[in-house]
Amino acid sequence: MQHLIILPVLLPLLTGVALLIHRGGALTLRRTANVLSTIALVVVGILLVAASTDDTIRYYALGDWQPPFGIILVLDRLSALMVLVTSLLALGSLLYACAGDDEQGSNFHGLFQLQLMGINGAFLTGDLFNLFVFFEVLLIASYALLMHGGGKARTHAGFHYVTLNLLGSMLFLIALGILYGTMGTLNMADMSAVVPTLDTADLGLVKAGALLLLIVFGLKAAMLPLYFWLPRAYAAAPAPVAALFAIMTKVGIYSIIRVYTLIFGEQAGPLANLAQPWIWWLGLATLALGAVGVLSARDMRTQVAYLILVSVGTLLAGIGMHNEAALGALLYYLIHTTLVSGGLFLLVDAIAQQRGKAGARIVQSRTLTQPATLGLLFFAAAIAMAGLPPLSGAFGKALLLQAATTAQQYWLWPILLGSGLASLIALSRTGSTIFWRASGEKTGITLGPLRVTATLILIGGAPLMVAFAGPITAFTQATAAQLLDRDAYVESIIARDDTGGDA
Amino acid sequence: MIALYTLMEGIIAFFLIAGSIFALIGSLGLARMKDFYMRLHGPSKISTLGVGCVLLASIAYFSLLDSGPSLQELLITIFLFITAPVSAHLLSKSALHQKLERDPRTRGNPQELQEDDDEHTSEESPQGSSKLP
Amino acid sequence: MEALFATTTGILAASGLYLALRGRTFPVVVGLTLLSYAVNLFLFSTGGLTTDGSAVIGDGGGEYADPLPQALVLTAIVIGFAMTAFSVILAMRVRGDVGSDHVNGNRVDEPREDKS
Amino acid sequence: MLDFALKVSVVLFAIAVILNLYRVAVGPSLPDRILALDTMYVNSIALIVLFGIWLGHRTYFEAALLIAMLGFVSTVAVCKYLLRGDIIE
Amino acid sequence: MSLLLIVLLPLLGSLLPLLGSNQRRHQCALLTAAMPLIALLVTLRETPGVLAGEVPRLAFSWVPALGLDLALRLDGLSLLFVLLILGIGLLIILYARHYLAEADNMPRFYAYLMLFMTSMLGIVMADNLILLWMFWELTSLSSFLLIGFWSHQSAPRKGARMALAVTGMGGLALLAGFILIGQIVGSFDMQTVLDSRDVILADPRYLPALLLVLLGAFTKSAQFPFQFWLPQAMAAPTPVSAFLHSATMVKAGVFLLARLHPALAGSQEWLYLVSLTGLVTMLYGAYFALTKLDLKAILAYSTVSHLGLITMLFGFNSQMALVAGLFHILNHATFKAALFMTAGIVDHECGTRDIRKLKGLWRYMPMTTALATITAASMAGFPLLNGFLSKEMMLTESLETPLLGGLAWLIPALATVASILSAAYALRFVRNTFFDGKPRDLKKTPHEAPFLLRLPVLVLAIVCVVVGLFPALTATGLLTAATDAAMTMPAPEPHLSIWHGFNLPLLMSTIALLGGLLVYVLRQHLFAFHRQFASRDSLAIFENAVQRLVRFTQWAIDTLENGSLQRYMLWVVISALVVAGMSLMGIETLKGELATQEASPLIIVGAVITCFAGLATAFLHRRRLISLIMLSVVGLMASLIFARFSAPDLALTQLAVEVVTVILLMLALFFLPQKTPKESSASRIVRDVLLAAGFGGVVASLNYALLTRPLNSISDFFLENSVPGGGGHNVVNVILVDFRGFDTLGEITVLCIAGIGIYKLLNRLRLFMPSSDSEGRPWSPDRYPMILASVSQSLLPMALLVSVFIFLRGHNAPGGGFIAGLVTAVALILMYIAHGVEWAQQRLSFQYQPIAVAGVAIAALTGVGSWAFGYPFLTSSFGHFHIPLIGDMELATALLFDLGVYLTVVGATLMILANLGKVTTSHRPSKQKEKA
Amino acid sequence: MIRPRKWLPMPLLSVLLLIVWLLLMNSIALGHWLLGGFLAIVIPLITKPFWEEQPRIKKPWLMVRYFFRVLLDIVVANLEASKVILDPRGRARPAFVEYSLEVQENFTITMLASTITLTPGTVSAHLRMDGKTLLIHALDVDDIDDMKRHIHERYERTLKEIFEC
Ligand code: NA
Ligand code: NA
């Protein structure tokens, strides 16, 4: 139990390593190992969430080096939640992949686990440089997975994705350099403790570092104007990978939340909440642009990619609102959008397979082999993504709308509601084209039970999140409260009896 | 004792100065000789020797004035003397391959530098288009 | 010396960025490599410039360079290497799949520039 | 005396490196540039060693050793490139 | 609990038909009807109590954060609607059973219908604003499915989409309005809201809230100017039209007006907005109903008109008007549902609904004709029928409204005009369809429809008559209860009676009927007038608008995302420049407190060389190999800089990595063009130079500022604890393998994944293989120069020895697993260069991927090992062991960790380079192989 | 001399490695002897496959003599070359010389080529693929035949004696 916190990193690492040590081997065995490990990860995620509900912030000192000197993993409500969401998404994606996508190239299963390791590490770490390292782990794994199966579109989108992220990594290092060079520490809690005591002469520098971090995280989160890699990369990725990628933008979102509540939050003295105004406007812009993109999409995958952009914008706007209710609301929305957009990627792939030559393009095509099943799932996913009741998207949006202050309402309400309407119009067009305008011979390709299960697990999240909206929102609201209680966080991590980094 | 020390210092200083002068001459040769083949001479032997001298100086310094006998730098020296001719050889090979101009006074006309009538194929023809197994 | 160091870092960063903004894959990769050299120097220097005092306990005098940025840069170098390797092979793959080494992915090797 | 010799030595090597750089920059041929780069590697070894003597400890021995080894490999690789295009075939 | 049943039973009912099959339609219909029937019985059981003034309520907490409770109520208003929904719903089920064709998927139809019924019931019973909104949106969604039921046709698809877009928009506005109300009141609980009228009306947010709520209500009820979607929704099967577009969904809008009447009504805003909208809609609908040729279109516009009428009444802020409106809701539902069903029967029997083709059907279907006549008469406001009653009440109220002040006479006048038109189109509907000669060009010979298809119409017609004759007996109780619920104060007892004596409203009614007759007779003049205006199909307009919107968005996105990486990079750079630049501008002086050190000449030379080489790399980039050589110079200089500033480990690493990188870049360059074409425009170059300079300036400024500021860092801890805590003298290495070993674990994972990813990339790579160099020279035939081969084989053992040396020393002196690994890898690569892939592969019996992965595994398992001793992951342990003969030996678990690093580096590097080399070689055209 | 065995395939290399190890460690403590000995055995075992052919030194003492001769020549060569480089008038007399090889084994040829590069005024520029002709570039040579003879007598013959007889 003591080592539970590190399991989300270690379990995928060891599984991944075991799967990669030989390139060949029985596929069934690999699949089984991967699925079992991912299920175990779900269990770990549940246990972590359960552990986090007592509102104590626990940390795991790697190498037994206490903070702020050693690297720590921190378990609070947010990190536990993110790990759980990741593992659920992973399970869905993985089951889908096991229906055949994993055979399209080499080493899928091992890379998949390492991807999870990177993501979970990023969510858990309490050290800013370690966050960089895990960013790189998850990026390199995502590069490899993006290329899974090959193809011109993937290569090309991949190059853009890789190059932009390389530039992002450089900026991350510069920002880290600035922050270390001024604060003398890397532990985020310690940074939080140091920030208010900073010399005025250093404030501008720290601000530069903090805002550069925003560029870096914004790039990951696909914030305008840094989102350009997203539509093509997501549209080009193999379906299960694209589904798993639904959490990638959330890594950026998570980092933004973490850094700008913990380090540069309310208590940061002159630097308090320095990023929120940026995040607010850029988030709204992203939201609007995402809506435009959703309408413009000629292809279902691209459409889902823009839906992700819409959700990113929504989340960013929520962060920009910087109040507790908004934070809690956006966390609820985050769970919803991650699971459902992941499921939608899978679904779109399944639909495309049954449409013959038309694939994912939004044009008239053959009748689907299983119009009822796919139609029902699409209907549900579309409702959820567009933010209509009775599915979870509506709750998320309603919570956010409620959380807006009067001044924020003028911007948030029309844009958020308008984007919902745009999604509704676009998705109804897509749905009616795909399911209603179809005619002609069926391809006969059917959706296997594995794929149905996978898609159901993810899209099923939408009704489940409605049914259990009470406890879930209670959790996310408590998470928001915990996030804003910076003192408690810092106190539970930094025992101030040594000569640490704070001046 | 002081005399001995001075002597040792003198030896080291000699190696240092000699080495650096050699290295400079080597690089000077590189900078001012007329054609590539002539430029090759300086770096490939003079510079190597120059650095060798500095390494000897270092051996002498640490063995005589610092922490007792130490021959580690010998390894680098040996390594340099083994590899420098190979580098020079490969470089001149590529120079000949590229048929670099030689100084007009150079005697001898090796076949490598004679113009042959090989047809020049275009830069990039997509030949390796077959898929790997 | 500080100004000189900073200028060097800046010039390397500028050169790297200029290359990274070119239109062909190879210069872009070279540019990012150059940029990473600059960034590594930058990150390294955040611990200050110590001219005599490598962080090996017992070596030399009592003053030691800040070992932490060095360790960070080491990690960054290795990661940068992995990323460069991947991107350069990807650049080859782009050429193989798309037939052009233009970053914007024209089908043929023709000069092209977007009008942005 | 040693101090002076060291200083002279460093200056001479620095000039040598600048001369190398000159050749790297102006070429005119690729072998010229590679040769100059190789020489620069060799001169760097000397500079590192001189620095070690200056500091009075041998922390930099490995660096010198590695420059020698890696500089060679790098030169070999470029030459192979000029000769065959394909370094590893 | 019974309230929950009323809502949940139909929901369950939406699943039941799916159990039935399309073949056994009877069973399917029965299954479907069962649940609403039970719900109706449950409702009836509650009815007496409700009529007596009880308001059964039920509430479960659902999402407190959202203010959402699962709260239901059954007050009079709810009851009125529940009875309508369930009652007419059951008739529709019966009707649809016989109406739908064999090809139609009946279970699916019923499932949608029941889903719709559930959401309708939810709306009228919701006791929480958010809950109401949820059901509200659900009606939009389920009606989308119902309208688009005949999805193989274009019109239903488009009609469904339009309806969804319009009502969806209204729904979103409604949510905003509800949230505003909730914020004003502080609760979403219905009763609290209804009791807070004074607070709401006094709040500055009242008007926006009202506008938003009305937007929702008006779109749903097809009020002007949102009326256009309703006629297009007629593409739905007729049972749907009858249910949704007469009795229920469109009524949701007016229901909402009634429901929130106690909370929102009473203001001038309400009066003008609601009643004028209603008035306009009433006239608009009536006019268009008269001009339409399709039976269902006539009825649709008629519905628009009647909904306008109801809206107008609700807007009057008067209690009696409210009663009239509610009464008309009931009456309209009955006669309009019946008329729709009649239209469906005609369509069913004749194959057309075109009023020009239909004539004299009374001969073929007398029963239907009778029913249609009765219900149409009710619609026209013919005495003794229920429509007459409410219409007369409307006329009465129109006389009493304070609206328009001095022009108040306009209201009754216009109401009368609308009634005239109403009478005219009712007459036209009946006469042109069932009388007036013989039918022409019918596809089939019509005859009377099956009885069960007519039965629902019959039931409704009876209701029309009975209510018309005995209003007090049948409707008073229900209306009183409903009005009660829709009023702030106890409602007056409505006096429902057929005869109020001779008065103005009666005169107006008479004028309406006679005027209607006149208009009907003179209708051709009206049509001629109407034909002057180009008919505009709202569906086409809407589709066109959406398509233009989509094309605009496509243009916008294509313009923004032009596929140019250069532009995307530009944005990132600009963003970084903006934020960093702005922050830097806030700094007073760049220079900090720290005294600067003087630069020695050597350092100046080094800096100059570095800068020169860096710039040269950039400006010579079009000649790629030269650029690469310049990059090498920078790499070498960087490592010298590291060495100069006391970072031997960094110097070593930088050096090794730089060499491997250059080899890698050269390997890749073989397939890429050797030169970059000159393609950047001058302006582009200037722009990029400026940007790069700006970026460099920012980096330099930041760097300078940091260098001149003192730093109080945690590093002292590492220096102090490296030896006692980490067992190593080389602090950097101890940080890497111990203090921050977790970073290193991640770092080697990255390296390992990169190797594997590259292996994936190289798989089936198609390559363009140059057969000559960039100057057109064929390659040298000498593949493996002998002297190189000969020397390199003797260097390998030496290099391995050196790597062992560097590896072992790492913990205490510069070195370590990473550098050792690179040295090994480079030595092996030299073998590949000197002898080729095949030769080297034969001699290396191991594969690289397992090596690299095993490295990560060793590092990770070393970390796990500390669990056995009760320590966290990666806790190192070390000790001095006295081994006989050898002496003191220091062993640390960190060494094992470092071994993992070593293996990963060797494995990954070779995986990258050797695999790349292999790919290229196997593609080398055979004729090139040995030319000489 | 040490005889090659299965576990000691290249005894000379092993000795060399041990020496190098001790050089690297800069210590002759027993531990280093043991570790060095271990490496001296293991590394040749690992790298054995990479040796195409093993040089056999037939006359070790001659080799030592050769070594010192070359060392001396290097110094002389450098002084001469420096003179040419520093000559302000640049009156060098460069030449390409085709030198026919008598030695045949790869290792010997390599040794000779390296020696030529390191010693007076010559760089072994190219070994033709037949392995029989070495193209030499001389920086400042008077009589080409004289130079060839010098090389043959001073270096090639000795090398042949050491390795190939
Ligand atoms: Na009508
Ligand atoms: Na190759």
For C57, nearest residue in chain D (alpha carbons): D59
Q: Which two tokens stand for residue F126?
A: 């190219």
Query: Cα of A90 to ligand 2 centre, how many Å?
Result: 38
What's the pLDDT score for residue A399?
A: 95
Q: Do C69 and A163 touch (CB under 8 A)?
A: no
Q: Where in the sequence is the domain holding C26, given as residue range(s)? A: 2-50+65-98
Where residue A149 falls (left for φ over 0; alpha for ψ -120 to 50; beta otherwise) is: left
Mean pLDDT of E748-770: 86
Q: Do A147 and C90 touch (CB under 8 A)?
A: yes
Q: Closest CB to A421: pick one of E168, E557, E741.
A: E168
CATH code of D8's domain: 1.10.287
Element (H, E) at E135: helix E129-147
Mean residue pLDDT of chain E comes to 88
Chain C neighbors (3+ CB pairs < 8 Å)? A, D, E
* A129 interaction partners in chain C (CB closer than 8 Å): 72, 75
Q: Residue E59 phi/psi, 5° resolution?
A: -145, 130
The DSSP call for residue A74 is E
User: Residue E269, exposed/middle/buried by CB under 10 A (0-12, 13-18, 19+)?
Assistant: middle
What's the pLDDT score for residue C77?
A: 95
Helix and strand counts by DSSP (H, E) for chain D: 3, 0
CA distance C52 to chain D (A): 7
Q: Do B128 and E924 touch (CB under 8 A)?
A: yes
Q: Where in the sequence is the domain holding D14, given as residue range(s)? A: 2-84
Q: Which ligand is nearest to the CA of E833?
A: 2
In a domain, D49, yes or no: yes
Element (H, E) at F127: strand F122-127
How far apart (Å, rounded) are the C-alpha atoms in residues A496 and A485? 18
CA distance C115 to chain D (A): 33
* E649 interaction partners in chain D (CB closer than 8 Å): none
Q: Select the residue from C22, C44, C75, C78 to test the A interface by mutation, using most A Cβ atoms within 10 A.
A: C75
Q: Where are the beta strands (DSSP E) in E13-67?
A: 57-63
Calculate what percentage of chain C has a pLDDT beyond 70: 86
* B100 interaction partners in chain D (CB closer than 8 Å): 29, 31
Please report the sign of the dihedral spanned by the C-alpha atoms of residue E124, residue E125, residue E127, residue E128. Answer: negative
Q: Which of residues 42-71 of B touch F (CB under 8 A)?
A: 42, 44-46, 48-49, 69-71
What's the pLDDT score for residue E351?
A: 83
How far apart (Å, rounded) are the C-alpha atoms in residues F156 and A143? 57
The DSSP call for residue A64 is G
In a domain, D69, yes or no: yes
Of residues E382 and E257, more confidently modeled: E257
* F31 interaction partners in chain E (CB closer than 8 Å): 883, 885-887, 889
Q: Which two tokens stand for residue B115?
A: 């113009």
Q: Which ligand is nearest to the CA of E914?
A: 2
Q: Which two tokens stand for residue C114?
A: 């977007």
How far apart (Å, rounded) are the C-alpha atoms in residues E440 and E358? 7
Q: Which ligand is nearest to the CA of E671?
A: 2
In a domain, A328, yes or no: yes
Secondary structure percentages of chain B, helix, strand, coil, to 5: 65, 0, 30
**B-E interface (Cβ pairs under 8 Å ≥ 3):** yes
In a domain, D54, yes or no: yes
Cα→Cα distances E497→A51, E52, F128, Å: 70, 22, 123
* A117 interaction partners in chain E (CB closer than 8 Å): 749
- Interface C:D, Cβ pairs < 8 A: 9
pLDDT in tens, A143-158: 999 998 888 888 888 9
Please report the sign of the dihedral spanned by the C-alpha atoms of residue A150, residue A154, residue A160, residue A166. Answer: negative
Q: Closest by alpha carbon to C33, among A314, E633, F128, E279?
A: E633
Q: Is C68 near chain D, with CB under 8 Å? A: no
Chain A neighbors (3+ CB pairs < 8 Å)? C, E
Q: Is E497 in contact with E405 (CB distance < 8 Å)? A: no
Q: Which two tokens stand for residue A470?
A: 């009470």
Q: Closest by alpha carbon to E770, among B121, C90, C30?
A: B121
Helix E76-99 and helix E476-485, axial crossing angle in degrees, nearest 10:
120
Q: Do E760 and A141 touch (CB under 8 A)?
A: no
Q: Where in the sequence is the domain holding A20, given as residue range(s)? A: 2-493
pLDDT in tens, E888-898: 666 778 889 99
Q: Is A341 in contact with A245 (CB distance < 8 Å)? A: no
Q: Do A173 and C43 touch (CB under 8 A)?
A: yes
How far apart (Å, rounded) are the C-alpha atoms in residues E824 and E831? 11
Query: Cα of C94 to ligand 2 centre, how many Å?
Result: 18
What's the pLDDT score for residue E758?
A: 93
**F-C interface (Cβ pairs under 8 Å ≥ 3):** no
Q: Closest by alpha carbon to C98, among E1, E706, A133, A160?
A: A160
In a domain, C112, yes or no: no
Calculate what percentage of chain D has a pLDDT beyond 90: 71
CATH code of C15's domain: 1.10.287
Query: Cα of E504 to ligand 2 centre, how many Å?
Result: 103
C-alpha of E827 from chain center: 56
CA distance B39 to chain D (A): 8
Q: Is E18 near chain D, with CB under 8 Å? A: no
Enumerate the H helices of E533-677 as residue ranges.
538-560, 565-585, 601-619, 624-644, 648-669
How far apart (Å, rounded) are the C-alpha atoms in residues E129 and E66? 11
Of residues E928 and E244, more confidently modeled: E244
Q: Is C60 near chain D, with CB under 8 Å? A: yes
Q: Do F39 and E801 touch (CB under 8 A)?
A: yes
In a domain, A499, yes or no: no
Residue A503 has pLDDT above 70, yes or no: no
Residue B132 has pLDDT above 50, yes or no: no
Domain total in chain D: 1
Q: Do C49 and E597 touch (CB under 8 A)?
A: yes
Q: For the CA atoms of A284, A286, A289, A295, what is the dihedral angle to 10 degrees?
A: -100
How far apart (Å, rounded) are the C-alpha atoms in residues C24 and C13? 19
Q: Do B121 and E788 touch (CB under 8 A)?
A: no
Q: Which two tokens stand for residue E117?
A: 């019924």
What's the pLDDT score for residue F56?
A: 77
How far apart (Å, rounded) are the C-alpha atoms in residues A167 and C19? 12
Of residues E103 and A146, more confidently modeled: A146
Q: Closest by alpha carbon to D9, among A431, E602, E151, E712?
A: E602
Q: Closest by alpha carbon to E337, among E270, E383, E292, E387?
A: E387
Q: Select the residue from E783, E784, E786 to test the F interface by mutation, using most F Cβ atoms within 10 A.
A: E786
Mean pLDDT of A92-96: 96
Q: Closest by alpha carbon to A296, among A430, A431, A416, A432?
A: A430
Domain total in chain A: 1
How far apart (Å, rounded) are the C-alpha atoms in residues E634 and D19? 16
CA distance E787 to chain F (A): 5
Peptide bond preceding E64 in cis form (omega within 30 of 0): no
Q: Is E647 in contact with E653 (CB distance < 8 Å)? A: no
What's the pLDDT score for residue E923?
A: 57
Amino acid at B35: D
CB count within 10 Å of CB E57 equals 16
Domain total in chain C: 1
Mean residue pLDDT of chain A comes to 93
Per-residue pLDDT of chain F (165 residues; tens, 9 = 90+): 456 677 788 888 899 899 989 888 887 788 888 889 999 999 998 888 888 777 777 888 888 899 999 989 888 888 888 888 888 887 788 999 999 998 888 888 998 999 999 887 888 889 988 888 999 999 888 888 988 998 998 899 988 888 876
The DSSP call for residue A391 is S
Query: Cα of D89 to ligand 2 centre, how many Å?
Result: 4
Query: Cα of E837 to ligand 2 centre, how many Å?
Result: 7
How far apart (Å, rounded) are the C-alpha atoms in residues D41 and D45? 6
Q: Is E488 in contact with E258 (CB distance < 8 Å)? A: no
Q: Which ligand is nearest to the CA of D86?
A: 2
C-alpha of A381 from chain center: 18
Domains of chain B: 2-104 (1.10.287)
Q: Is A85 in contact with A247 (CB distance < 8 Å)? A: yes
What's the pLDDT score for residue C112?
A: 40
Enumerate the H helices of chain C as residue ranges.
2-20, 25-45, 67-98
Q: Is E72 strand, coil or helix?
A: strand
Q: Is C82 near chain D, with CB under 8 Å? A: no
pLDDT in tens, A450-498: 999 999 999 999 999 999 999 999 999 999 999 999 999 999 998 654 4
Per CB distance under 8 Å, which residues of F are interface residues toward E?
Answer: 13, 17, 20-21, 24-25, 29-31, 34, 39, 43-44, 46-47, 49-52, 106-107, 109-110, 113-114, 124, 127, 129, 131
- Please list all protein residues whose beta carbon sits less than 5 angstroms from ligand 1, which is an ion: E 289, 302
Q: Is A333 strand, coil or helix?
A: helix
Element (H, E) at F95: strand F95-100
Q: Do B46 and F85 touch (CB under 8 A)?
A: yes
* 0.90 surpassed by pTM: yes
Calculate what percentage of chain E has a pLDDT beyond 70: 96
Helix A392-403 and helix E154-185, axial crossing angle in degrees, nearest 10:
40
Q: Closest by alpha carbon to F118, among B107, B82, D70?
A: B82
* E757 interaction partners in chain A (CB closer than 8 Å): 111, 140-141, 143-144, 147
* E567 interaction partners in chain A (CB closer than 8 Å): 228
Q: Do F74 and B49 touch (CB under 8 A)?
A: yes
Element (H, E) at E878: strand E878-883
CB count within 10 Å of CB E724 equals 8
